[in-house]
Structure 1
Amino acid sequence: MDLFEQVSNDIKEAMKARDKVRLMTLRNIKKVFLEAKTAPGANDTLDDAAALKILQKLAKQGRETAATYTANGRADLAEEELAQAAVIESYLPKQLSTTEIEEIVKGIIAETGASSMKDMGRVMGIATKQLAGKADGGAVSQIVKRLLA
């Protein structure tokens, strides 16, 4: 079962459970998935890799929006955004810890023979592919910069 089907099935479960936050979030996810499936050139398909990228983007947007609400003194809205982000994150693979990311990046640096910041683009290209869906790109970038500096 792919992510699109799983979300569709989970919408039914959320309706039965009368879980309003989960239902609203899942409907939003399905809407975005449908938009991606019907986009020009998508050929009415959505593979799990593309779906994961969409979910990561939605989760990141939710966390950023919650931070904005918190900064503006709207804890009630921030709490709602974080609840929705938690639902989205339940569909994402487990995120790697900083030490796990660091070990992988050290391996990539050794593999490529990178020694300075000039090699950052090459290291980031490989790291981004290997860590897709498992780590935030910003965190990977910071670790690569620190290790190459």
Structure 2
Amino acid sequence: MQDHRQAIRWRANWQAKIKLENAESGAAKDFTNCLIYDITLRGLRVCLPEKMEVDTSVKFSLVLSEDCTLENLEAWVAWHKAADGNHFHGLYFTKISDPCKEKLYRFTRNNFCEQINKQWWKDIDKDMDMEQQQKGGEEMDDRRIFERL
């Protein structure tokens, strides 16, 4: 299986609440507990008690915390996997407003700061390794400049 992700996933394992809107009637169900395994600004992996059909669009609201509610979201159900009576789904956001993106960014920044910093330094280390390989791959220990001083 090929990974096509372009955004960094924050491993969340976060209890949240989701309210799905019924596509046929347009009626919203009550909020249901869910577990978010990872999240990005482009989508999320979520565990739900009920199955959603793959390759369909869903409208929903998501409560991540008391001060972070994302409303009027739309996502594409990219995949589904059932295990132990639970349903795991990969959702790709197709509609998320700029204020919701900002709330989601602040939420990840406040709750997963350590992961963000770790990923940031990992990327810098990777860039430095790549730069070192492009220069020939070996370190130089030339101290001739100090002999003149």
TM score, norm. by length of structure 1: 0.27
TM score, norm. by length of structure 2: 0.27
Query: Where is the helix percentage greater, Structure 1 or Structure 2?
Result: 1
